Amino acid sequence: MSEIHEDTSMAQTGEPSSVQPAPTASTNGQPVAPPPPDSGQPILRVSDLHVSYGSVQALHGISLEVYPGELVSICGVNGAGKSTTLRAIAGVLKPQSGTIHFKEKNVTGKKPEQMHKWGMALVPEGREIFPSLTVAENLRIGAFGRYNAKRYAADLEDIFALFPILKERLSQAGGQLSGGEQQMLAIARGLVSHPDLLMMDEPSLGLSPSLVDQIFELIATLKARGITILLVEQNAERALQIADRAYLLSTGTVKYAGPPQNMAEIVDITAVYLGGLKGGGLR
């Protein structure tokens, strides 16, 4: 049985530095996170990204980087621009300006299906599974464009090891699953494509505390396998505990970028979440 994307060839190497460099400023004055030690080239580089919904500006020059094998968390209040950032990276939204480079290729404005074929998977907010299709059919759709018959059979076994309940529900319609089971299916659908970058948008949203624990244990397992993850999560405390680097967004701009343990020293997180820096705009 092969484990999905348990490939350490692109993971970070070397011992972490005991001294964390301070964030630097981009050309538009927003902070930029220093790269991790011995990081090489980022798998994802977003530069000065501007996105609007009609006349409403949602992102004002977002810049971020994700390196192979790391987990990067994007935090912020509702309306800060977190989900908009992921949707623009995945090709769901077309940026007004700025660039998106994935695996050193300029993919700005490319369609979601192209991004998927190139190795980017988005687990969207609200799960967005196909409710009338079975669990098996939902999983097969996740492998579209990156399908390998021999590997797919082994992948399913690995998926079922991670999510035993999905094997029991294989012939059941997705819409008949519980909320937690649907979230598991959404994550499994992303994993079965063997993504080089897995983006997860609010995976714990609306789940019971026990299921939230399961989701974060799963994310930690995926990180340990060397899967590169860009995580948007409402539960900032839990997300920062497992993140290698973090970005804090407010009103469509980056307020902090760097090691998660340093965020509280630079930004008043309570003010951000309780109204000192209002989210504004659209997610």
- The rounded average pLDDT for each run of 10 residues, N- to C-terminus, in the chain (283 residues) is 45 38 59 83 96 94 96 92 96 96 96 93 88 93 74 86 93 91 92 93 88 91 95 89 94 92 77 52 38
- Diameter of the chain measured on Cα atoms: 54
pLDDT value of position 112: 93
pLDDT value of position 220: 94
pLDDT value of position 104: 94
User: Is residue 99 domain-resident?
Assistant: no
User: Is residue 263 domain-resident?
Assistant: no
User: Is residue 165 domain-resident?
Assistant: yes
pLDDT value of position 48: 96
pLDDT value of position 142: 85
What is the value of pTM for the model shown?
A: 0.84
pLDDT value of position 271: 66
Count: domains in the chain = 1
Provide the Cα torsion 55, 275, 237, 17; round to 10°.
80
User: Is residue 159 domain-resident?
Assistant: yes
**What are the backbone angles phi and psi of residue 61, rounded to the nearest 5°?**
85, 45
User: Is residue 206 domain-resident?
Assistant: no
Q: Which residue segment(s) compose the domain that 157 sits in?
A: 121-194
